Chain A
Amino acid sequence: MAFITANWSPLGDTFYRKTELYEMCWTLRDGFKDSLVAAAPYGGPIAVLREPIRRSPSSRPQLDIFSASGVSIASLTWKSGPVVHLGWTVNDELLCIQEDGTVLIYDLFGTFKRHFSMGQEVVQTHVLEAKVFHSPYGTGIAIVTGSFRFTLTTNIEDLKLRRLPEVPGLQEKPSSWLVLSQDRQTKVLLSVGSEMFVLDNTSCTAVVPPGLSPQTGSIIHMSVSFSYKYLALFTDTGHLWTGSAHLQDKLSELDTKQTVTPKQMVWCRRPQSQQPSVVLMWDSLLLVAGLSNDTIQFALDESSVLVGEMDGVRIVGATRQELLQEVPLVCQDIFKIASMAPGALLLEAHREYQKSSQKADEYLREIKEQSMLGEAVRQCVDAAAHEYDPSTQKSLMRAASFGKCFLTDFSPDSFVSVCRELRVLNALRDAAVGQPITHDQYKQLTLQVLIDRLVYRQFYPLAIEICHYLKIPDFLGVSRVLKHWASCKVQQKDLSDEAIARAVCGKVGDSPGVSYSHIAAKAFECGRTELAIKLLDSEPRSGDQVPLLLRMKRSQLALSKAVESGDTDLVYTVVSYLKNEMNRGDFFMTLRNQPVALSLYRQFCKLQEPDTLKDLYNQDDDHQELANFYVTASYKEQRLETRVSLLQSAVDEFNKARNDFCAKATEDEMKLLRFQRKLDEEKGAGLQGLSLQATAEVLLSLGLHKQAEQLYRDFRIPDKRYWWLKLTSLADKGDWEELDKFSKSKKSPIGYLPFVEVCMKHNNKYEAKKYVSRVTPEQKVKAHLAVGDVHGAADVAIERRLDAEISAVLSRVSSSDRPIIERLQRAAAAKK
């Protein structure tokens, strides 16, 4: 255990350590000689492009993609133009920036995805240098062209090229430059000799780093920290200036005594750093320069590449890879020689306990006396999280667990979660997977991103294991993995549609949140329509199936799926699509097979395209609806001839529909219309459009009795209604004489009570009384009461001896009329 500090080097009042991550799995001829190398942060993949500039047809450049541990993921011969710069996006896609400004995007497996250009003018002037940078907006690219102008885009997913203003008097390549992302703005910082400029969207501003004496010479290299907070400048006299990236404060200045331009210069900090440093690399020297003017020097025995991380620097060499970082404070506390920190004592106590030594008790007592046991456990857990070596992790966790036994109310949460996380981290760090991320990075990246990265690498089983192990809800974890897996699976050309569909459905099943339509869309993009249709069958959301089916021109299927969904708007959408796509005949035929769609389309036509509606009914031989259609149409017409001819069409259709009643009724209407017109012309009666009843009423009110009589006969108006009609019409007119005549014309089919009532309605008691005697006995009481003849009513009621009638009369007798009341009561009593 004492060896833990063996790789520690003091810097100022803290320590730095270099931990070996991997013996690299690759075999690189000549190391990184003549190669462009891009290694993604957070232990991401590494791309190596050999001899990018040599342009002889016989030896083309070779592009290799490795995992961080050097496992080859892809290897291809570069067939496009000369590449200036390589870089990785946040989604693990490789950006290859060519001399002519074209940017080609490849996925991890070397498959070409797409390309775009950094501007037309670059084709002539060429890209001199390029940088890939990351900001909250995504992955960006900045280039400097042969005419010494800068162009950048902050997000390649949403490409907006910005050409930055000219730097006045710039006649040569800037000696160094970098991209700053500050205050939601992206700027370029560049140096020309000893001068420095900041370029933003609109202006070019000269800047001077505070406290940098002019004698220190020209700035030939610069570097910004991972978080864009700190800036380091290296001058040709070997001075290293560090300060804030806003160029407002200076942190330190140091003479490195190296005058050659370093190959790389990278910030090495960690959150809550005690002593941030800048790591400079030359051919065979690695210099860690702290802010306290202290340095550490390492000899380099192979050409290497530095990769800046949020909490350290990875040194990738041809044969091995190391992580250089400031030793986390908690680890220093525990492992520093002769440390008396509670964690250190607890670790010691546990070690003695394992040896069955009573010293364990002494150490424990010592911690407990200071009541620091909780702190001790916390320290061990925290330190374990920062350690890379599993056996060190284990001994720390065991010590923590040991200490926990003596505590009663210590929350186990952090212990449990660190255990779990370490297990995941160790699995990720395994050389076969090759993602050497630290615990801090893990926290920063979030689990979601981590799983995505595993998925990009197609480590599906591991990703699912992790999801299960960390108990991530299915729709956030396993489902996402399965979705990617399935999208990838459908691209496998060597498998039959059947096999793939079976495999996908088998694995995905009905996992929540996996969209079959998404997978099917992928399959369709790869030209596998049949497979896509098979997959869509498993999609439970019919709403999602429809748009894709339409895109695949499976309109019939789309229609039936839309109908199945019950979403009428969706059906309408497909129908209107079909209407535009198909010829009318086919369109109608298609609808015919889908009654639901057909009736919806009819609804649409009713409001929007009445003529189409007619065609639809015609096609279906729906004579009843056709007839209704003609009837409706007839009312929209002004001219009588047109109306009648439309009604004739309706009659024909009603006949075809074997609806005799309607046919007859429509014929009658035609007859009535003609009759009305005739009278309108002859007498100006204003009958057009009235109902038969209303027509007869008008005729009677005009005294046209003969014509009314004709209607009665021609249209076979029932006697009863005709009597009512005549009765009310004559009463309305006040033609009491005619009414009297009419009442005697023959025996009334409606009796004479209505005569009484109608007369009373017109307040003509005199006339009303005339008819009372002719009312049938059953209604006589009512009739007498109607004319207000209570005595008459009483007489009839007493005679007929019906309870209901007697009580009806009683209710109308005024209470003062004692004799009648008594007579009625007697009659009622006598009956009982």
Chain B
Amino acid sequence: MAAHLSYGRVNLNILREAARKELREFLDKCAGSKAIVWDEYLTGPFGLIAQYSLLKEHEVEKMFTLKSGRLPPADVKNIIFFVRPRLELMDIIADNVLSEDKMHSPREFHILFVPRRSMLCEQRLKEQCVLGSFNNIDEYILDLIPYDGDLLSMEYESAFRECYLENDQTSLFHTAKGLMTLQALYGTIPQIFGKGDCARHVANMMLRMKREFAGTQNQILPVFDTLLLLDRNVDLLTPLATQLTYEGLIDEIYGINNGYVKLPPEKFSQKKQGEASKDLPIESKKLQLNSAEELYGEIRDKNFNAVGAALSKKAKVISAAFEERHNAKTVGEIKQFVSQLPHMQAARSSLANHTSIAELIKDITSLPEVYSSEAFFDKLTVEQEFMTGVDTDKVNTYIEDCIAQKDPLIKILRLVCMQSVCNNGLKQKVLDFYKREILQTYGFEHILTLNNLEKGGLLKPQTGSRNNHPTIRKTLKLWMEDANEQNPNDISYVYSGYAPLSIRLTQVLARPGWRSIEEVLKMLPGPHFEERQTLPSGLHKKRQQGENRTTLVFFLGGVTYAEIAALRFLSQMEDSGMEYVVATTKLINGTTWMKSLMDRPESQTA
């Protein structure tokens, strides 16, 4: 069911199985029929661990969404709340429990905290006089969720905001705990590198936790050679830019949530002859996207401009395979052909799906219609100007026009922040102009969002110091003039020219090492460091000649699909000698990231 998790260098299915086992154990603790009341946020992440069938096997008969008031009727013995440890959710649970009909046949209540139980929440339940109503209060330690064969995510959306705006390091604690779990399953990671304040904090906690667990030393041969912890604020630029890989564009345009994307239905309608074509499905088409789908695995990380060619090549292969049937003469040959049919049919429907998606994207990104205000191309041009350092210190007329035409605020914020980052801060006059334009056009309430962006370093006035971004750009070769989109030879293909800073750092670390870029590292925020964890003797790997090393790259505060694509590209490079597994607090793109940083006071007058 989740075989794709075990294809990669590291078998992440082990982690998923461990998580499933724990879930089953908890469900079996509550004997009898059950209903689960979900904290809605958790349903997505849980879908990556267990389908409904698993719950059903363990007598889960009903599922509800957590909301105030009385629980819907359900003839079950147990009511289980699956919730994050948040005070506001505790109040809702208390409300549920208190409005339960006392005369009704007694039902047993349980709480499962994800990812960790909290004394504060239990205290709250106690204050509400319902703590005693629960037969079981347990925690389900779900920190790192296997997302794909080489990808782990905590699906912790607010991590960046909490860390950099609110100085709340809860997510980092969970990160450290998650990494400890990972090490318990895959062995102690001997080398830890990091850059940034949060990275330092996580590494410190990990080393401390290791001391706490001293004695219960695990005896597993380490699977990972290196852990690299990277703060998102070391590289604020990358997520602001528009991703240009196939998967990245799907995410930019339609948004991928917990591995699923919802697409407009028009292109997916089954056109059968004789049927009226106006019966278009109204519901959007939901597709799961991961490497379990062979074709998707092949094209997801390609630059979108190379996807068309790949699709048509694939189409030829598939139709050739179907043509084979004419060559099948003997019964044996026919039998063999038939046995391959299901696989071929799956491939054909996968091809059809992706051709439709590619068409959808093409419509949006292709060269601009003259009077299209959302011109994708113009935006890209401006982004690339910023990334190459062209006129970053002046008010940009494109942005100005976009504001005048009331383009979506998030698009404006992405561009303004990008300019600020590429210029190491904007001149006070330029900054104030943009801010005033935004407030006057989109409303004064966005002053809070602007303050947030300034706090997070995304938007800032230029201080006395020199603009060091060109130095960083040159040293790390962030801009490659002749990026090859079809047959890439460098990671810059994922942004058609821009090489993500975060991935360059990763690449340099592998070879020749960070010592060669000390100067640049000092310009980027936060400390950089290296730690070693001693292994019990006998667990030192004896490396075969030519065997690749494995690095786990952990992005604290989120990672984009394009960055992952770049790391996969590095893994596949023949002479890199390094394979990468990616972990993150959350998969983000510029839009979701911006959204998480926005503040919108609820107006009473509206």
In the complex, whether A496 has a CB less than 8 A from a CB of chain B is: no
Residue pair B447, A761 in contact (C-beta under 8 Å): no
Interface range, B side:
35 or more
Residue pair B208, A540 in contact (C-beta under 8 Å): yes
Residues of B contacting A661 with CB < 8 Å?
Answer: 432, 435-436
In the complex, what distance in Å separates the CA atom of A102 from the CA atom of B386?
87
In the complex, whether B370 has a CB less than 8 A from a CB of chain A is: yes
Residues of B contacting A573 with CB < 8 Å?
Answer: 119-120, 123
Residue pair B403, A721 in contact (C-beta under 8 Å): yes
Name the distance in Å between B90's Cβ and chain A's nearest Cβ. Answer: 11
Residue pair A599, B441 in contact (C-beta under 8 Å): no
Residues of A contacting B436 with CB < 8 Å?
Answer: 661, 665
From the candidates A512, A693, A694, A724, name the one contacting B215 in the complex (CB within 8 A).
A512
Residue pair A721, B170 in contact (C-beta under 8 Å): no
In the complex, whether B518 has a CB less than 8 A from a CB of chain A is: no
A706-732 residues with Cβ-Cβ distance < 8 A to B are: 715, 717-718, 720-721, 724-725, 728
In the complex, whether A782 has a CB less than 8 A from a CB of chain B is: yes
Name the distance in Å between B269's Cβ and chain A's nearest Cβ. Answer: 29
B431-454 residues with Cβ-Cβ distance < 8 A to A are: 432, 435-437, 439-445, 447-448, 451
Interface string of B595-606 (1 = CB under 8 A from A): 000010111111
- Stretch in A16-24, A294-302, A341-349, A634-642 touching the partner: A634-642
A557-581 residues with Cβ-Cβ distance < 8 A to B are: 564-570, 572-573, 576
In the complex, whether A75 has a CB less than 8 A from a CB of chain B is: no
In the complex, whether B400 has a CB less than 8 A from a CB of chain A is: yes
- Most chain A C-beta atoms within 10 Å of own C-beta, residue among B173, B370, B447: B370
From the candidates A602, A662, A715, name the one contacting B440 in the complex (CB within 8 A).
A715
From the candidates B116, B211, B370, name the one contacting A569 in the complex (CB within 8 A).
B116
In the complex, whether A600 has a CB less than 8 A from a CB of chain B is: yes
- Stretch in B146-154, B161-169, B229-237 touching the partner: B161-169
From the candidates B172, B214, B406, B604, name the one contacting A540 in the complex (CB within 8 A).
B214
Residue pair A662, B370 in contact (C-beta under 8 Å): no
In the complex, what distance in Å separates the CA atom of A632 from the CA atom of B451?
12
Residue pair B445, A635 in contact (C-beta under 8 Å): yes
Residues of A contacting B371 with CB < 8 Å?
Answer: 757, 760-761, 786
Residues of B contacting A569 with CB < 8 Å?
Answer: 85, 116, 118-120, 170
B400-421 residues with Cβ-Cβ distance < 8 A to A are: 400-401, 403-406
In the complex, whether B24 has a CB less than 8 A from a CB of chain A is: no
Name the distance in Å between B505's Cβ and chain A's nearest Cβ. Answer: 25
Residue pair B451, A572 in contact (C-beta under 8 Å): no
Contact A635-B603, Cβ < 8 Å, known A540-B208, A541-B212, A573-B119:
yes
Residues of B contacting A766 with CB < 8 Å?
Answer: none
In the complex, whether A501 has a CB less than 8 A from a CB of chain B is: no
Residues of A contacting B168 with CB < 8 Å?
Answer: 568, 599-600, 603
From the candidates B432, B443, B603, name the one contacting A691 in the complex (CB within 8 A).
B443
In the complex, what distance in Å separates the CA atom of A572 from the CA atom of B85?
12
In the complex, whether A193 has a CB less than 8 A from a CB of chain B is: no
In the complex, what distance in Å separates the CA atom of A643 from the CA atom of B211?
54
In the complex, what distance in Å separates the CA atom of A662 from the CA atom of B448?
10
Residues of A contacting B212 with CB < 8 Å?
Answer: 540-541
Name the distance in Å between A362's Cβ and chain B's nearest Cβ. Answer: 51
In the complex, what distance in Å separates the CA atom of A785 from the CA atom of B432?
37
In the complex, whether A474 has a CB less than 8 A from a CB of chain B is: yes
Interface of B is mostly: helix
Contact A475-B169, Cβ < 8 Å, known A691-B441, A721-B403:
no
From the candidates B204, B400, B440, name the one contacting A717 in the complex (CB within 8 A).
B440
Residue pair B605, A691 in contact (C-beta under 8 Å): no
In the complex, what distance in Å separates the CA atom of A638 from the CA atom of B606?
9
In the complex, what distance in Å separates the CA atom of A728 from the CA atom of B441?
14
Residue pair B215, A513 in contact (C-beta under 8 Å): yes
In the complex, what distance in Å separates the CA atom of A692 from the CA atom of B88?
35
B545-575 residues with Cβ-Cβ distance < 8 A to A are: none
Residue pair B88, A785 in contact (C-beta under 8 Å): no
Residue pair A635, B602 in contact (C-beta under 8 Å): yes
In the complex, whether B335 has a CB less than 8 A from a CB of chain A is: no
Interface range, A side:
35 or more
Residue pair A512, B605 in contact (C-beta under 8 Å): no
Contact A511-B215, Cβ < 8 Å, known A635-B601, A665-B444:
yes
B165-193 residues with Cβ-Cβ distance < 8 A to A are: 166-170, 172-173, 176
Closest to B172 in A: A566
Name the distance in Å between B85's Cβ and chain A's nearest Cβ. Answer: 7
B190-236 residues with Cβ-Cβ distance < 8 A to A are: 201, 204-205, 208, 211-212, 214-216
- Most chain A C-beta atoms within 10 Å of own C-beta, residue among B85, B201, B604: B604
From the candidates B123, B167, B401, B603, name the one contacting A596 in the complex (CB within 8 A).
B167
In the complex, whether A607 has a CB less than 8 A from a CB of chain B is: yes
In the complex, whether B87 has a CB less than 8 A from a CB of chain A is: yes
In the complex, whether A816 has a CB less than 8 A from a CB of chain B is: no
Name the distance in Å between B167's Cβ and chain A's nearest Cβ. Answer: 4
In the complex, whether A669 has a CB less than 8 A from a CB of chain B is: yes
Residue pair B400, A720 in contact (C-beta under 8 Å): yes
In the complex, what distance in Å separates the CA atom of A568 from the CA atom of B371?
53
Residue pair B602, A786 in contact (C-beta under 8 Å): no
Contact A786-B208, Cβ < 8 Å, known A566-B173, A693-B406:
no
Residue pair B602, A636 in contact (C-beta under 8 Å): yes
From the candidates A602, A637, A665, A782, name the one contacting B447 in the complex (CB within 8 A).
A665
Residues of B contacting A760 with CB < 8 Å?
Answer: 371
B577-606 residues with Cβ-Cβ distance < 8 A to A are: 599, 601-606
In the complex, what distance in Å separates the CA atom of A720 from the CA atom of B400?
8
Residues of B contacting A541 with CB < 8 Å?
Answer: 212
Closest to A659 in B: B451
Contact A603-B166, Cβ < 8 Å, known A567-B173, A636-B604, A718-B437:
yes
Residue pair A688, B605 in contact (C-beta under 8 Å): yes
Residues of B contacting A565 with CB < 8 Å?
Answer: 208
B277-335 residues with Cβ-Cβ distance < 8 A to A are: none
Contact A724-B405, Cβ < 8 Å, known A475-B215, A637-B604:
yes
A86-104 residues with Cβ-Cβ distance < 8 A to B are: none
In the complex, whether A58 has a CB less than 8 A from a CB of chain B is: no
A609-648 residues with Cβ-Cβ distance < 8 A to B are: 624, 628, 631-632, 634-638, 643
Contact A576-B123, Cβ < 8 Å, known A566-B176, A715-B440:
yes
Name the distance in Å between B434's Cβ and chain A's nearest Cβ. Answer: 11
Residues of B contacting A689 with CB < 8 Å?
Answer: 603, 605-606
Residues of A contacting B442 with CB < 8 Å?
Answer: 691, 693
In the complex, what distance in Å separates the CA atom of A606 from the CA atom of B527?
31
In the complex, what distance in Å separates the CA atom of A512 from the CA atom of B364?
61
Contact A757-B370, Cβ < 8 Å, known A638-B605, A721-B403, A721-B441:
yes
In the complex, what distance in Å separates the CA atom of A643 from the CA atom of B371?
41
Interface string of A500-521 (1 = CB under 8 A from B): 0000000000111100000000
Residues of A contacting B205 with CB < 8 Å?
Answer: 566
In the complex, what distance in Å separates the CA atom of A596 from the CA atom of B216?
31
In the complex, what distance in Å separates the CA atom of A779 from the CA atom of B215?
75
B368-392 residues with Cβ-Cβ distance < 8 A to A are: 370-371
In the complex, whether A595 has a CB less than 8 A from a CB of chain B is: yes
Closest to A479 in B: B215
In the complex, whether A304 has a CB less than 8 A from a CB of chain B is: no
In the complex, whether A608 has a CB less than 8 A from a CB of chain B is: yes
Residue pair A474, B119 in contact (C-beta under 8 Å): no
Residue numbers of B with Cβ under 8 A of A are: 85, 87-88, 116, 118-120, 123, 166-170, 172-173, 176, 201, 204-205, 208, 211-212, 214-216, 370-371, 400-401, 403-406, 432, 435-437, 439-445, 447-448, 451, 599, 601-606
Ranked nearest first, the 6 interchain pairs of A and B with the lowest CB-CB distance are A512-B215, A599-B167, A635-B601, A724-B404, A691-B443, A692-B440
Interface pairs (14), CB distance under 8 Å:
A510-B211, A542-B208, A566-B169, A573-B120, A599-B168, A631-B445, A631-B448, A637-B604, A661-B432, A661-B435, A666-B447, A692-B441, A725-B404, A728-B405
Extra contacts besides A572-B119, A635-B605 (7): CB < 8 Å: A540-B211, A540-B214, A541-B212, A572-B118, A693-B442, A718-B437, A750-B404
